[in-house]
């Protein structure tokens, strides 16, 4: 049975995490852009054939770091998103329980 205190805590988490979730979503987008930007920079700095320049760009430390930062941002986003979904589900279960209890009283 889900208590009203648990629902209050779930609602509080949803409210308090909204800004952080938005920031992390923006960070994911920024990191995706950074990967492309650093890859383009490394490609232009490299010499050789297009394939060689592309390989050099993919192995550039800035690109590797940007990919790692993107992964970290995605992990953080998914962690917050999953917790927010769990809190929303908890609220929905409580609503169902409350409706059932009201029906039993009639």
Q: Which of 24, 18, 6 is nearest to 72 (CA)?
A: 24
What average pLDDT does this structure show over 53-74? 98
- pTM of the model as a whole: 0.84
Domain membership flag for residue 103: no
Coil vs helix vs strand at 3: coil
What average pLDDT does this structure show over 2-12? 95
Within 8 A by CB and 6+ apart from 5, the residues are none
Domain membership flag for residue 41: yes
Question: How far is it, in rounded angstroms, from Cα 22 to Cα 1?
Answer: 31
**Overall number of domains in the chain:** 1
pLDDT tens by residue, 9-60: 999 999 999 999 999 999 999 999 999 999 999 999 999 999 999 999 999 9
User: What's the confidence (pLDDT) of residue 104?
Assistant: 81
Q: Which domain holds residue 26?
A: 4-98
Output the six-digit token pair for 56: 């050099």
Q: Percent of the chain having pLDDT more than 70?
A: 100
Hey, how many other C-beta atoms are within 10 angstroms of the C-beta on 62? 15
Question: How far is it, in rounded angstroms, from Cα 18 to Cα 4?
Answer: 21
Domain membership flag for residue 105: no
């Amino acid at each position: 049975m889900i208590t009203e205190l648990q629902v209050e805590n779930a609602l509080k988490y949803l409210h308090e995490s909204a800004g952080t979730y938005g920031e992390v979503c923006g960070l994911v987008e920024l990191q995706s852009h950074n990967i492309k930007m650093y890859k383009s920079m490394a490609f232009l700095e490299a010499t050789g054939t297009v394939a060689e320049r592309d390989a050099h760009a993919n192995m550039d430390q800035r690109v590797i770091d940007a990919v790692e930062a993107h992964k970290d941002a995605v992990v953080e986003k998914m962690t917050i998103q999953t917790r927010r979904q769990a809190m929303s589900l908890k609220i929905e279960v409580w609503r169902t329980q409350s409706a059932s209890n009201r029906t039993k009283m009639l």
